[in-house]
Structure 1
Amino acid sequence: MINIIQPHNLAPDAARAAAQQVADKLARELDLSCQWQGDVLRFGKSGVEGTLTLLDKQAQMEIRLGFLYGAFAPAIQSKVAEKMRKVFAPE
């Protein structure tokens, strides 16, 4: 399981827009479907599922990978963490 916590100082609408950017990138690269349920963005397909939860001052992503995607966990974690840093904590 991949677990990434990214602090942010964004207003709720801006945080949701940032989360959507991360989800859109994941959806394109891994062919995932995404759906909001309140402040939780759920995404997945066969072999990959997860959530991106928006909290007051942080975004928390959990990704569960099936056997076939498990070998790519370090690369996936690195890419997702980098994208989250860029959109939630812009310099």
Structure 2
Amino acid sequence: MSDVQFQQSHSLGLDKARELAQRWVEGAGAKMGLTCKTEQGADKDVVSFERSGVNGTMVVTGESFNVDIKLGLMMKAFKPMIEAEITKSFTRMIEKASGGEA
């Protein structure tokens, strides 16, 4: 069972969602020291990420981003901050990509 689960719907389509996921990997993933691996599929991509005390996946489709994260014992104390940062970063990325203010 995941410690952090996040689901964000969007109407960007798969190509734009892939672009945003890659941006997340390069920005937030690098900032947090995550090692990321992306597997592209016909109708969805799966980004696997990990670092000491954290591992998870992000499933990217043309309609949603689904993030599941398992936290190690020492990282559980940071769960509220991790949830807030994920929500903020994805909301901002999707809003900006949709032509809204970010």
Q: Above 0.5 in TM-score?
A: yes
Structure 2 equivalent of residue 71 of structure 1 = 77
The answer as to 2:32 corresponding to 1:30 is yes
Normalised TM-score (structure 1): 0.89
Q: Which has the higher contact order (CA 8 A, sep 6+)?
A: 1
Normalised TM-score (structure 2): 0.81
Return 5+ residue gaps in structure 2 as ranges.
none
Cα distance in structure 1, aligned partners of 2:37 and 2:7: 20
On the 8 A contact 1:9/1:89 being kept in 2, the answer is no
Cα distance in structure 2, aligned partners of 1:86 and 1:48: 23
How many percent identity over aligned positions? 27
Structure 2 equivalent of residue 47 of structure 1 = 53
Larger radius of gyration: 2
Return 5+ residue gaps in structure 1 as ranges.
none
Structure 2 equivalent of residue 61 of structure 1 = 67
The answer as to 2:77 corresponding to 1:87 is no
Listed one character per residue, the Cα deviations across residues 34-76 of structure 1 (whole Å, up to 9, x for unaligned) are 0101200010022100111012311101111101111001001
